[in-house]
């Protein structure tokens, strides 16, 4: 796979995926207002917020970086992003998961092995 240069860092501490589609005419300040008023979060905290359009073929990521907002935008030419299903308005992701999502992976089917809890070997 080719290197990706304009991507969220794997070390990004807080990543929130907004479950419902948004009006994609919103730019950085409109998205920051949505984060603040609708979600009750501080858009200046340094957390990354991820949004998609209704058709699911575009994604925007919003992040405050020291002295201004960074807006990452990706529009797919043919396919759609596979958005994780959840009953919550926001879904927490890791840096690896947001990059997998941007690569087109379906996060809902990417599960690790089950965790086993044993009390004794014998």
Q: What is the pTM of this model?
A: 0.83
Question: Could you tell me the mean pLDDT of each successive run of 10 residues in the chain, 122 residues long?
Answer: 77 91 95 95 96 95 95 93 83 90 83 80 82
Q: Supply 94's token pair.
A: 């890791």
* Cα separation, 63 vs 70, whole angstroms: 5
Q: Supply 95's token pair.
A: 């840096």
Instruction: Return the pLDDT at 1.
Output: 60
């Amino acid at each position: 796979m080719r290197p990706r240069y304009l991507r969220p860092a794997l070390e990004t501490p807080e990543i929130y995926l907004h479950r419902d589609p948004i009006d994609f005419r919103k730019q950085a300040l409109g998205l920051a207002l949505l984060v603040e008023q609708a979600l009750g979060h501080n858009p200046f905290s340094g957390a990354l917020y991820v949004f998609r359009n209704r058709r699911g073929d575009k994604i925007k990521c919003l992040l405050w970086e020291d002295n201004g907002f960074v807006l990452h935008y990706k529009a797919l030419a043919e396919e759609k992003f596979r958005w994780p299903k959840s009953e919550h308005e926001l879904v927490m992701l890791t840096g690896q998961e947001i990059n997998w999502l941007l690569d087109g992976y379906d996060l809902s089917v990417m599960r690790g092995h089950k965790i086993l809890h044993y009390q004794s070997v014998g």
